[in-house]
Amino acid sequence: MPLAHEVVEALAIDNGVCIRPVGLRRMDLKTGISDIINAPCGATLEAKCPPCAKRNRALRKAQCREGWHLTAEPAITPDEPNDYQRHLVEWRADAQALRDQCEAAGLPTDDYDQAIAELDVEINAAGVRGNVLGRTTSKRSRSTRRRQDAPDLPKRAMTATTLGRTYESPDGRSYRPSMFITLTLDTYGRVNAGVPVDPASYDYVRAARDALHFSKLIDRFVQNLRRVAGYDVQYFATVEMQKRLAPHLHMAMRGSMSRADIRAVAAATYHQVWWPSCDTVRFDGGHLPVWDEKAGYLDPDSGEILPTWDEALDQLDANPDAQPLHVVRFGRQVDAQGILSGTPDADQAIRYLSKYLTKSLGQAADSQAARDHAARLAEVLRYEPCTPTCPNWLRYGVQPKDAKPGMIPGRCRGKAHRPEHLGYGGRRVLVSRKWSNKTLTEHKADRRTWVLEALGVTDEPADIGRYVWSPVKAGDPDLPPIRVRLLRSIRERLRWRAHMNQLQAAADGLDLSATAGRAA
Ligand SMILES: [Zn+2]
Ligand SMILES: [Zn+2]
């Protein structure tokens, strides 16, 4: 006999109810009433349960479809900031000033840093894009600027449009074709059904480094694509793992180019990683650099101070014979297909683009050989530095950027090292800024408004600043047990569904095809 809790969970999944809801305490400043709201886990976009993943996938499909064959420039004029947003930014400015005063006085700034981080999250949650401080990367750009050569590609004059060309057929109909592009990485050794034929000669280090820097390669590809296309190319792309565990990219591109041009761009695109060498292991196991409050990390035997991140980069700059740590390129397999809007091909490509979004990057291996392959890659990734701040730099005798005590090589918590990420720590879905008129939040709002309208409920205008939200701690006596919460949500959903069915029946009777189409 099935266990009761399994039945509850299965029922929740069948009804599209989040099975891992996050409890949030909502304090209503108007009424003084505080209650607990079940937020679906998928609200964070990193859905952890099947119903939320499915819902997010549907949203992504809508977003992909909306922008692909756009016929007019998307309007992306941001709204004027509202009072609450202004208030938050002022508050943020005060916190920054206090923090800087503390720092100048040599006092600890931890509390302010924490408050600032929380404010930044709140500012984004209030509907402000980006970061208040803008990009906070260091000004250092010497070593990369000097050596990232421009690829050998034709450069066309840029026109200020994000739309592709329109073609006229002899019978006077116009077409606006777009492209569906698939890019893969190079080979690291022969594979059979995703598993290396000869694991000993398979180049795991190159596979690991390619995956770690794959996002950068995508950025460069887009830059080059725009240069050759001669307009502001927009894209919706997803990253997924091939069976051999190398990331690859599916990209819906607005507008079209010849396949030969796309091939040429892919072939000419590369990214050089100008990082210190990490080919010689200097510290390992129990023999690790030691922390000194003043100097940072020291050699445990000689007491010599290890070069800091900036010093290591300076050494690299000073050496005329220096080579990049790594160069990432695409493999030879480039697939580019012309797609017309509203055709079965377009539907199929959109399904394909969103196919893997409900699954994690690293899939369960189906054989012992595949598991061994994944384990070997994960072991190499464990010690590859993922970013300048990665503790793994200590293994190669360099102090990580922003070094602090307690860093241990092989124990970096960065996403890229995790077995389910396999070196790719970037986002799964990459959408250019002028893809459509809407952000994902706005797509969500669309659906919400429609459902509320259908139910005959008026959407309350967002009463900004009315509620204060805080996380509910595990064991809070006000938080009902998870199964009780699931049963309530299921009941709610069933009631909602019954109501929708009634509306549907009424709509069918009236032949409101527009409504029915949207409901489907
Ligand atoms: Zn969920
Ligand atoms: Zn790392």
Mean pLDDT of 46-64: 81
CA 504 to chain centre: 37
Give the ligand with the smallest distance to the CA of 16: 1
| Phi/psi at 296 (5° precision) | 95, -140
**256 token code pair:** 């079209």
Q: From ligand 1's centre to the CA of 50, what distance in Å?
A: 7
Confidence of residue 447 (pLDDT cuts 50, 70, 90): low
Higher pLDDT, 324 or 147: 324
* Ligand sitting nearest the alpha carbon of 393: 2
Span from the CA of 406 to the centroid of ligand 1 (angstroms): 35
Give the percent of the chain with pLDDT over 70.
82
129 C-alpha to ligand 2 centroid (Å): 27
Of 151-165, 307-321, 355-369, give the lowest mean pLDDT range.
355-369
Instruction: Kindly give the distance from the C-alpha atom of residue 397 to the centroid of ligand 2, in angstroms, as a whole number.
Output: 15
**CA 49–ligand 1 middle distance (angstroms):** 4
Q: Which residue shows structure tokens 């803008």? A: 134
The larger pLDDT score, comparing residue 36 to residue 383, is at 383
Has residue 436 got a pLDDT over 70? yes
pLDDT digits (tens, 9 = 90+) for 8-26: 888 888 888 888 887 777 7
Nearest ligand to the CA of 489 is 1
What are residue 273's DSSP bridge partners? 326
Helix (H) or strand (E) holding 219: helix 214-229
Please report which ligand is nearest the Cα atom of 52. Answer: 1
Ligand nearest to the CA of 400: 2
Q: Could you say which ligand is closest to the alpha carbon of residue 17?
A: 1
Reply yes or no on whether the pLDDT at 148 is more than 50: yes
User: Nearest Cα to 310, choosing from 396, 395, 402?
Assistant: 402
> What pLDDT does residue 79 have?
61
Q: Which two tokens stand for residue 36?
A: 């607990």
User: Which ligand is located closest to the Cα atom of residue 13?
Assistant: 1
Closest to 469 (Cα-Cα) out of 29, 18, 20: 29
Question: The whole model's pTM is what?
Answer: 0.77
Render pLDDT for 167-183 as a digit per residue (tens, 0 to 9).
888 888 888 899 999 99
Instruction: Give the mean pLDDT of 244-250.
Output: 94
- Ligand closest to 21 (CA) is 1
Q: How remote is the CA of residue 45 from the centroid of ligand 1, in Å?
A: 10
Residue predicted with more confidence, 354 or 510 = 354
Q: Across residues 461-472, what is the average pLDDT? A: 66
Q: What is the pLDDT of residue 176?
A: 83
- Residue 422 backbone phi and psi in degrees, to 5: 50, 40
Ligand nearest to the CA of 43: 1
Task: Retrieve residue 217's tokens.
Answer: 């390669």
Ligand nearest to the CA of 22: 1
Q: Residue 166: pLDDT above 50?
A: yes
Find out whether 59 and 436 touch, Cβ atoms under 8 Å. Answer: no
Percent of the chain with pLDDT over 90: 40
| Mean pLDDT calculated for residue range 488-512 | 77
pLDDT digits (tens, 9 = 90+) for 181-218: 999 999 999 999 999 999 999 999 999 999 999 999 99
Condensed to tens digits (0 to 9), the pLDDT of residues 74-96 reads 876 666 666 666 767 777 777 78
Q: What angle do CA 227, 232, 236 make, to 5 degrees?
A: 110
Q: How confident is the model at residue 156 (pLDDT cuts 50, 70, 90)?
A: confident
For the stretch 260-284, pLDDT in tens is 999 999 999 999 999 999 989 999 9
Tell me, what's the pLDDT at 66? 87
The residue that leads in pLDDT, 277 or 46, is 277
Report which of residues 504 and 135 the model is more confident about.
Answer: 504
User: What's the gap in Å between 425 CA and the centre of ligand 2?
Assistant: 10
Whether 479 has a pLDDT exceeding 70, the answer reads yes
User: Residue 460 Cα, ligand 1 centroid: separation in angstroms?
Assistant: 24
Find the 433 Cα to ligand 2 centroid distance in Å. Answer: 28
- Tell whether the model's pLDDT for residue 365 goes beyond 50: yes
Separation CA 442–CA 75 (nearest Å): 14
Ligand 1: centre distance to CA 441 (Å): 17
The residue ranking higher by pLDDT, 145 or 42, is 42
pLDDT surpassing 70 at residue 141? no
pLDDT score recorded for residue 23: 77
Q: Ligand 1: distance of its center to the CA of 361 in Å?
A: 18
Q: Which is more confidently placed, 516 or 149? A: 149
Of the listed ligands, the closest to the CA of 408 is: 2
312 or 495: which leads in pLDDT: 312
Cα of 42 vs centre of ligand 1, distance in Å, is 5
Instruction: Tell me the CA–centroid distance for residue 143 and ligand 2, in Å.
Output: 21
Give distance in angstroms: CA of 414 to centre of ligand 2. Answer: 5
Written in H, E and C, the secondary structure of 146-190 is: HHCCCCCCCCCCCECCCCCCCEECCCCCEECCEEEEEEEECCCCC
Q: How far does the centroid of ligand 1 lie from the alpha carbon of residue 90, in Å? A: 34
pLDDT surpassing 90 at residue 117: no
Q: Ligand 1 centroid vs 364 CA: distance in angstroms?
A: 21
pLDDT of residue 145: 45
Across all residues in the chain, what is the average pLDDT? Answer: 83
- Nearest bound ligand to the CA of residue 411: 2
In 3D space, the residue among 380, 370, 378 whose CA is nearest the CA of residue 243 turns out to be: 370
Q: Where are the beta strands (DSSP E) in 234-289?
A: 235-241, 247-253, 270-273
Asked if pLDDT for residue 62 goes beyond 60, the answer is: yes
Q: Which residues surround ligand 2, an ion (CB under 5 A)?
A: 386, 390, 412, 414
